[in-house]
Amino acid sequence: MSSEKNQQFIYRKNDLEQKRWDPDSKLGLPGQYPFTRGIHRSMYRSKLWTMRQYAGFGNAAQTNKRFRYLLDNGQTGLSVAFDLPTQMGIDSDDARALGEVGRTGVAIDTLADMELLFDQINLGKVSTSMTINATSAILLCMYRAVGKKQGVEPALLKGTIQNDILKEYQARNTYIFPPKGSMRLITDIFDFCAKDMPNWNSISISGYHIREAGATAAQEVAFTLANAIAYVEAAVSKGLKVDDIAPRLSFFFVAQMDFMEEIAKFRAARRLWSKIMKERFNAQDPRSLMLRFHTQTAGSSLTLQQPDNNIVRTTIEALAAVLGGTQSLHTNSKDEALGLPTEASALTALRTQQIIGYETGVTNIVDPVAGSFYIESLTDAVEKEVLEYLEKIEKIGGAVKAIEAGYIQKEIENSAYQYHKEVEGKHKIVVGVNEYIDRNEEQIPVLRVDPGLEDEQKASFAKIKAKRNNQAVEDALKELLQAASSEDENLLPYICTAVEAYASVGEISETLKKAFGKFRPSLNF
């Protein structure tokens, strides 16, 4: 440490001591329980967060091209966006997929698409995050199969699968099966990954979509942790040991525009989770107590109006995530309120992360905000509100019961309504939307997915079905149905067998529906 920096540190520490504030005794140290100040002792001084830009559109070939472009420009991890049919377990040639193929992400029907998606990308060297939930087991098996074809053993694959179905019932609605069947798949993935893919994060418990649906910062943390508790309890009830699964649990939060509150939110979430794991689940492995999380800047904060302003919004949100101690980060592109990001805007978003990481100096300090009276008091306030929500959910019977009762959904709806009232009444200013409006703003280029790609994807899928061993597919699906109809077999090996026979996402999903049924939400709230 330079003499000048050392003097600054001594001054600040003495200043705090005069006010009877001792960060070491009040907060603990970085890398130590309760991890308020970060899960690693040196944080970004030794290694920056993973820069993981979310990408996916059209077909596998197009998305592969975008992946390789971003990797060539310094991205350090991949993050896959799947189209709506893939998320919902519907094949591209299904009538229900009409007009949606490749629109909001990449279309994946069979293992052949996954092979093309990662063409010329060494899965032994890159970490991949996949935002997929209802069909997460299928896509995980596809990724594993691609790794095997590349000569990469499953134990060496690194990445994360979102696999968080409870928040789908709460906020996003890309579910297929009822909660019981969905929870079975999730715990099967926990068990399978612990044994077969030990470096893979078997779930990314997401507050992002909860917040984007309208929740407050405290609700985002509370409902996410309630879901996490439900997942751990489900795993334990199946005989899995906490310390076998907890070190590979990860979280996914949003970074919104209230800069100070977001930093405090991340600190409160870390502290709360460490206490829950230690006191409620009696976890012994220090890694089980660490809340590791990915952050994405807020899509809901981006505006159609004056889209260049979105670069500023994203920068502020990304800085909050870094000061809050995130392990990986996606920065949204300025044009995402208009459509899928262009190559140029995606590059600007990546450069935003790189500028924060290499030019601002915030990575020179392990915990730049520690001891700030406002940050610490705000962290305490968020923690207190989260605990109040967790107690309410516990009284209802846990996250699953709270979902079935409609409690969580209603809380999110009320918060969303309140926010929009504040914007409409100008109690909350959104620059370019309800104040400082520019009637003559210039239009920017918008990426359009070629409608012809849908026909190309259908034709490609038809070729795979024609040349695969259809008897092997039929046999694999029959065995999967039999296993899913029982209650004591792990379904992942059966799904992997079906995937490797080039069974489709839709075929496997329909087979599981025969065993689990299809979820119909209650309207009684």
Note whether residue 117 is domain-resident.
yes
**What local confidence, expressed as pLDDT, does residue 26 receive?**
66
Helix (H), strand (E) at residue 458? helix 452-467
pLDDT tens, residue by residue, 412-446: 999 999 999 999 999 999 999 999 999 888 788 88
Note whether residue 487 is domain-resident.
no
Let me know the angle formed at the C-alpha of 179 by 175 and 180, rounded to the nearest 5 degrees.
Answer: 135
**pLDDT score of 1 more than 80:** no
Mean pLDDT of 364-372: 93
DSSP letter at 172 equals: I
Note whether residue 11 is domain-resident.
no
**What local confidence, expressed as pLDDT, does residue 411 receive?**
96
**What local confidence, expressed as pLDDT, does residue 518 receive?**
84
pLDDT tens, residue by residue, 114-125: 999 999 999 999
Q: What is the CATH number of the domain that holds 394?
A: 3.20.20.240
Note whether residue 495 is domain-resident.
no
Mean pLDDT of 518-524: 67
DSSP 38-88: -SSSSGGGT-PPEEEEEE--SSHHHHHHHHHHHHHTT--EEEEEBPHHHHT
Note whether residue 474 is domain-resident.
no
Percent of the chain's residues with pLDDT above 70: 94
Note whether residue 204 is domain-resident.
yes
Contact by Cβ (8 Å): 234, 183: yes
The count of structural domains within the chain is: 1
Domain that holds residue 304: 31-424
Dihedral, 443, 309, 81, 44 alpha carbons, nearest 10: 150
Note whether residue 515 is domain-resident.
no
Give this prediction's pTM: 0.90
9 band by pLDDT with thresholds 50, 70 and 90: very low
Mean pLDDT of 201-228: 97
**pLDDT score of 350 more than 70:** yes
Nearest Cα to Cα of residue 229 among 277, 267, 179, 164? 277
Distance of alpha carbon 48 from alpha carbon 230, whole angstroms? 32
**pLDDT score of 11 more than 50:** no
Residues forming beta bridges with residue 297, ordered by sequence position: 255
Note whether residue 523 is domain-resident.
no
**What local confidence, expressed as pLDDT, does residue 4 receive?**
41
**What local confidence, expressed as pLDDT, does residue 522 receive?**
62
Mean pLDDT of 121-148: 97
For 169-173, 214-218, 284-288, 330-334, which range has the lowest pLDDT when averaged over its residues? Answer: 169-173
pLDDT tens, residue by residue, 152-184: 999 999 999 999 999 999 888 899 999 899 999
Contact by Cβ (8 Å): 135, 89: yes
**pLDDT score of 13 more than 60:** no
Mean pLDDT of 388-402: 96
**What local confidence, expressed as pLDDT, does residue 10 receive?**
39
**pLDDT score of 486 more than 60:** yes
**pLDDT score of 12 more than 60:** no
DSSP 244-278: HHGGGEEEEEEE-S-HHHHHHHHHHHHHHHHHIII
Compute the mean pLDDT over every residue in the chain, rounded to the nearest whole number.
92
**What local confidence, expressed as pLDDT, does residue 361 receive?**
96
